[in-house]
């Protein structure tokens, strides 16, 4: 009897420990590395993760020629990653970052709004990432406060004198990585952003070159340090860590020196992780930088408000998904709506709003236009009674939700 109760006690204990396993996330943006450049460099940590099935090509830049087209420039690229929406929503078209639309919250706000006690951190070779893109302390971001920040070293010209060859940026990236690794080991913030710049500097100065290749190898070393910190945590504590490494844009085809445009290589990005991101969507389709926010939200079980979720432009790369690639064509009295089903059974709801109040912080009122079998792949929606020059269409399934705008064309 006594033995049995001890056994029972052990079972209950291990069960509750498992249930309490903490989900932690680190995402890294390494600046300006086109997928082909990373693949050709093929450094050791990258290679190991590729062998484990933890590498995906992805794209930046929104839809070429569409309403979501986003310049392949750094700050817009980071903002795609941290908000899960494209430029038409986040309003960061360049590195001046004059008027970000904070009504589209960052992943840090999604986490803090749901779980105020969770810890957020940024380790960055560029101060603006915290002060402008995350918007720390601003009224518009609910005065979000990072629990840990290590950045602004680029402004410290005493310790990091700015040499013409920009080797100081490598030193800063290495200091930023060392701090991030130490923080992960010692304090384990729930959600961390590590930003590394040196690769883009070498790309701009030398283009596709031994210097650029070496910079990619340095990033790989830095990823190795973060991986080893994560592995140490997972061995010592009941924690599940997700590492996602990505880039903000690719480089020009011609010589690798530039970026900003919409060519294939400038839009070329990738996702490297410590665990396979291999659901029906990532296996079948070409993921995008905006998929990272829904992926992190799902991994960390962050409840996302319906109005926010309906605006997210990405699809989770983990877990069950049902719909992707929404398309809407405006006809005279109908919207011709189509989608790609990612499973055969189930239903899909079509919601319609004629307003875009979200842009200014208001609420949009969506009307349910119908429920359709998912595998039908399309629906004709009458707009006779809802005349408008603008529609937001939301396709909702229990697994995931996608959206599409329609503007009047002449």
| First and final C-alpha spacing in the chain | 82
Q: Which stretch binds Zn ion (CB under 5 A): 73-81, 83-91, 285-293, 317-325?
A: 73-81
Structure token pair of residue 121: 């951190």
* CB closer to Zn ion, 151 vs 248: 248
Report the residue from 60, 72, 74, 289 that binds Zn ion according to the rule CB under 5 A: 74
The rounded Cα 206 to chain-centroid distance in angstroms is 28
Q: Who's near 56: CB < 8 A, 6+ residues apart?
A: 270, 271, 277, 282, 287, 317
* CB closer to Zn ion, 32 vs 71: 32
Asked if residue 32 binds Zn ion (CB under 5 A), the reply is yes
Looking only at residues 218 through 257 of this chain, which bind Zn ion when binding is defined by CB under 5 A? 248
Smallest distance, Å, CB 199 to Zn ion? Answer: 9
Report the residue from 25, 26, 28, 31 that binds Zn ion according to the rule CB under 5 A: 31
Angle CA 362–367–368, to nearest 5? 140
Q: Which stretch binds Zn ion (CB under 5 A): 96-104, 196-204, 224-232, 286-294?
A: 196-204
Q: Which stretch binds Zn ion (CB under 5 A): 103-111, 141-149, 195-203, 224-232?
A: 195-203
* CB closer to Zn ion, 59 vs 372: 59
* CB closer to Zn ion, 179 vs 259: 259
* CB closer to Zn ion, 31 vs 220: 31
* CB closer to Zn ion, 31 vs 313: 31
- Determine the Cα–Cα distance for residues 324 and 138; give it in Å rounded to an integer: 34
* CB closer to Zn ion, 201 vs 313: 201
Which residues share a beta bridge with 149?
A: 122
- Determine the Cα–Cα distance for residues 106 and 360; give it in Å rounded to an integer: 16
Which residues share a beta bridge with 349?
A: 371, 396
| CA within 13 Å, CB half, 153 | 23
Asked if residue 200 binds Zn ion (CB under 5 A), the reply is yes
The dihedral sign for the CA sequence 35, 94, 143, 88: negative
Q: How many CB atoms lie within 10 A of CB 247?
A: 32
Smallest distance, Å, CB 80 to Zn ion? Answer: 12
Q: Which stretch binds Zn ion (CB under 5 A): 63-71, 74-82, 100-108, 267-275?
A: 74-82
Asked if residue 201 binds Zn ion (CB under 5 A), the reply is no
With beta carbons less than 8 A apart as the criterion, state whether 270 and 57 touch. yes
Smallest distance, Å, CB 229 to Zn ion? Answer: 25
* Pairing mode of beta strands 390-396, 401-407: antiparallel
Binding site for Zn ion (CB under 5 A): 31-32, 74, 200, 248
């Amino acid at each position: 009897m006594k033995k049995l109760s001890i056994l029972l006690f052990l079972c209950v204990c291990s069960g509750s420990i498992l249930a309490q396993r903490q989900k932690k996330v680190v995402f890294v943006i390494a600046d300006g590395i086109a997928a082909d450049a990373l693949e050709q460099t093929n450094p050791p940590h990258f290679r190991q993760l590729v062998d484990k099935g933890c590498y995906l090509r992805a794209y930046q830049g929104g839809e070429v020629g569409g309403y979501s087209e986003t310049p392949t420039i750094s700050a817009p690229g980071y903002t795609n990653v941290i908000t899960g929406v494209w430029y038409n929503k986040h309003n960061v078209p360049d590195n001046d970052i004059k008027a970000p639309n904070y009504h589209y919250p960052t992943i840090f706000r999604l986490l803090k709004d749901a779980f105020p006690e969770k810890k957020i951190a940024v380790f960055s070779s560029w101060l603006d990432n915290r002060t402008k893109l995350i918007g720390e302390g601003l009224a518009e971001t609910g005065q979000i406060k990072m629990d840990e920040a290590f950045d602004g070293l680029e402004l410290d010209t005493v310790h990091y004198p700015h040499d013409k060859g920009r080797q100081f940026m490598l030193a800063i990236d290495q200091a930023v990585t060392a701090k991030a690794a130490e923080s992960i080991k010692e304090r384990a913030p729930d959600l961390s952003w590590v930003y590394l710049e040196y690769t883009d500097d070498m790309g701009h100065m030398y283009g596709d070159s031994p210097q650029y290749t070496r910079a990619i190898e340095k990033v790989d070393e830095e990823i190795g340090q973060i991986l080893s910190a994560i592995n140490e945590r997972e061995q010592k504590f009941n924690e599940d860590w997700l590492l996602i490494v990505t880039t903000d844009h690719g480089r020009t085809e011609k010589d690798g020196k530039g970026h900003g445009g919409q060519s294939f290589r400038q839009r070329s990005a990738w996702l490297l992780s410590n665990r396979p991101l291999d659901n029906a969507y990532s296996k079948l389709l070409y993921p995008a930088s905006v998929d990272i926010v829904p992926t992190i939200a799902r991994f960390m079980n962050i409840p996302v408000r319906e109005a926010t979720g309906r605006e997210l432009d990405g699809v989770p790369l983990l877990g069950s998904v049902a719909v992707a690639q929404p398309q809407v064509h405006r006809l005279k009295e109908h919207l011709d709506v189509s989608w790609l089903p990612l499973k055969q059974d189930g239903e899909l709801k079509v919601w319609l709003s004629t307003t875009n109040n979200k842009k200014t912080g208001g609420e949009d009122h969506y009307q349910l236009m119908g429920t359709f079998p998912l595998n039908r792949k399309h629906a004709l929606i009458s707009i006779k009674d809802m005349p408008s020059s603008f529609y937001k269409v939301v396709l909702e399934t229990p697994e995931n939700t996608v959206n599409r705008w329609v503007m009047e064309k002449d």
